[in-house]
Amino acid sequence: MSTVIDLVQLYQFAGFSVQSSLNPSHFEGFNNKGIPFSYIFSGTKIYEGDQLLCVGGGLSFTEIYFLECLFKEYTPGNIFIIGNAFGWSTLTMALLNPGAKVVAIDACPSPDELRGIEVTNALARKSNLNAHAVIGTSPDDVNKIIESYFNDQVDFVFIDGEHTSKQLLLDFYACRESTAKKCVFLFHDVINFSMIEAFTEVISSQEDLFGSLLFRTTSGMAIAFPKEFEGVIRPIIDVFTEPDQRLLDLKRIGQTDLNLEAKLSEKMKLQLKLWR
Ligand SMILES: C[S@@+](CC[C@H](N)C(=O)[O-])C[C@H]1O[C@@H](n2cnc3c(N)ncnc32)[C@H](O)[C@@H]1O
């Protein structure tokens, strides 16, 4: 069965319901930063009284499909995640990588994320998944938790915590120090939350990492990976982004305010630079 079916059924069997992957143009008052993603509600049907658990949206179906394609070609053994929320991405990674160990942290700012930790661990146990959700805050707890939970080096990191450029860099550098030299880093929401420049800094500061924005993923994810994996990973990336020239053309076509041209071209230069 497919991963999204397994995942939705896993939550439903446990008494939750899922809202996912909706188009904001179909629902007045919603935007592309919220409704296209995945949310867990208490109760098996989304009635008025049912409560949204965790405000942080999880991976969209398209993004899960991207991961499915990626992990068919590239198989990590140890996966670390910043941002567990209600466990959606933690369980996705574990379902897609049955041979891997998955550990996710969450700072748990409210009782919802604390419940998210419990539910994630209970669902992982129920499905025999090697996934663990732990209370922890990045960057301070990253090293300690990686050291105590993994026997071998972490080779895949998913960063989906606080969506600011400053925090993205703190998350990345903390993980970089504690993970394998050949680790692959995937960042959620880079384009949606205007973190392109922070991602560019990641790539320019790390001689051995290649990177790309993934324009065909819902949140505008970005991936950084060591040169060794270029042959395996690049063909998948090429399918989940747009060619540079097409990006430039689209920006030009959508351009109504000509004064914006200079600003946009600066941004495009940043994007064009990403491949070494
Ligand atoms: C967008 S949600 C994560 C969604 C999750 N990855 C998924 O797909 O279901 C972001 C989560 O990151 C957590 N978070 C924010 N800043 C953090 C930090 N510095 N360290 C650990 N967790 C953090 C929040 O509590 C929140 O639950």
Query: Which residue's alpha carbon is at the smallest distance from atom 9 of ligand 1?
Result: 58
Residue 105, beta-bridge partner list: 82, 134
Q: What pLDDT digit, counting tens, does each position of 214-232 carry?
A: 999 999 999 999 989 999 9
CB-CB contact of 113 with 120 (8 Å): no
The verdict on 27 and 132 lying in the same domain is no
Q: What is the mean pLDDT of residues 3-18?
A: 92
φ, ψ for residue 212, nearest 5 deg: -155, 145
Q: Contact 222/193 with Cβ under 8 angstroms?
A: no
* Pair (50, 144) in one structural domain: no
Residue 37 CB–ligand 1 contact under 6 Å: no
Please indicate, yes or no, whether residues 248 and 198 belong to a single structural domain of this protein.
no
Q: Whose CA is nearest to atom 19 of ligand 1?
A: 138
Mean pLDDT of all residues belonging to the chain: 89
41 lines ligand 1 (CB under 6 A): no
pLDDT average, residue stretch 46-74: 85
CA of 163 to the centre of ligand 1 (A): 9
Does the structure show a pLDDT above 70 at 48? Answer: no
* pLDDT band of 47, cuts 50, 70, 90: low
CA of 160 to the centre of ligand 1 (A): 6
Residue 253 and residue 161 share a domain? no
| Residue 190 sits in the same domain as residue 217 | yes
Q: How far is the CA of 1 from the centre of ligand 1 (A)?
A: 28
Nearest CA to ligand 1 atom 4: 58
| Same-domain check for residues 128 and 199 | yes
Rounded distance between C-alpha atoms, residue 39 and residue 131, angstroms: 20
Residues 114 and 76 both lie in one domain: yes
Ligand 1, atom nearest to 171 Cα: 19
The whole domain housing 264 covers 243-276
Q: Distance between CA 262 and CA 273 in Å, rounded?
A: 17
Q: Tell me how far the alpha carbon of residue 82 lies from the centroid of ligand 1, in angstroms.
A: 6
| 53 plus 65 within the same structural domain | no
> Which pLDDT score, from 0 to 100, does residue 258 have?
47
Note whether 38 and 160 are same-domain residues: no
17 and 146, same domain (yes or no): no
- CATH number of the domain residue 98 falls in: 3.40.50.150
Question: Is 107 strand, coil or helix?
Answer: coil
Q: Decide: 112 in ligand 1 pocket, CB within 6 A.
A: no
Residues 200 and 260 in one domain: no
Does ligand 1 have an atom closer than 6 angstroms to the CB of 226?
no
Number of structural domains in the chain: 3
pLDDT tens across 110-169, in order?
A: 998 999 999 999 999 999 999 999 999 999 999 999 999 999 999 999 999 999 999 999
Weakest-pLDDT range from 23-37, 62-76, 260-274: 260-274
Query: Is 265 a residue whose pLDDT tops 80?
Result: no
From 8, 37, 114, 160, the mutation candidate for ligand 1 (largest count of ligand atoms within 8 A of CB) is: 160
Residues 142 and 205 in one domain: yes
pTM for this prediction: 0.91
